[in-house]
Chains A and B, each alone.
Chain A
Amino acid sequence: NAGVTQTPKFQVLKTGQSMTLQCAQDMNHEYMSWYRQDPGMGLRLIHYSVGAGITDQGEVPNGYNVSRSTTEDFPLRLLSAAPSQTSVYFCASSYSKLAGSTDTQYFGPGTRLTVL
Chain B
Amino acid sequence: GEDVEQSLFLSVREGDSSVINCTYTDSSSTYLYWYKQEPGAGLQLLTYIFSNMDMKQDQRLTVLLNKKDKHLSLRIADTQTGDSAIYFCAESPYTGKLIFGQGTTLQVKP
Residues of A within 8 A of B (CB): 4, 31, 33, 35, 40-45, 48-50, 58, 90, 92, 94, 96-102, 104-105, 107-110
Q: Is B45 an interface residue (CB 8 A)?
A: yes
* Residue from A4, A43, A99, A100 within 8 A of B100 (CB atoms): A43
Residues of B within 8 A of A (CB): 4, 8, 29-31, 41-45, 48, 50, 88, 92, 94-103
Contact between chains at B8 and A99 (CB < 8 Å): no
A92 vs B44: C-alpha distance in the bound complex, in angstroms? Answer: 11
Minimum CB distance partner of B92 in chain A = A100
A108 vs B43: C-alpha distance in the bound complex, in angstroms? Answer: 8
**Can you give 5 A-B contacts (C-beta < 8 A)?**
A35-B100, A48-B97, A101-B95, A105-B45, A109-B42
Contact between chains at B42 and A40 (CB < 8 Å): no
* Residue from A50, A96, A99, A102 within 8 A of B48 (CB atoms): A102
If A42-B102, A109-B41 touch, does A98 touch B95 (CB 8 Å cutoff)? yes
A102 vs B31: C-alpha distance in the bound complex, in angstroms? Answer: 7
Contact between chains at B31 and A100 (CB < 8 Å): yes
A49 vs B95: C-alpha distance in the bound complex, in angstroms? Answer: 11
Contact between chains at A48 and B96 (CB < 8 Å): yes
**Minimum C-beta distance from B53 to chain A (A):** 12
- Across-interface contacts of B100 in A (CB, < 8 A): 35, 42-44
A98 vs B31: C-alpha distance in the bound complex, in angstroms? Answer: 12
If A98-B95, A102-B31 touch, does A40 touch B8 (CB 8 Å cutoff)? yes
Contact between chains at B95 and A96 (CB < 8 Å): yes
- Across-interface contacts of A42 in B (CB, < 8 A): 4, 88, 100-103
**Minimum C-beta distance from A72 to chain B (A):** 17
- Across-interface contacts of B103 in A (CB, < 8 A): 42
Closest 6 CB pairs of A and B: A100-B30, A107-B42, A42-B100, A31-B96, A43-B100, A107-B43
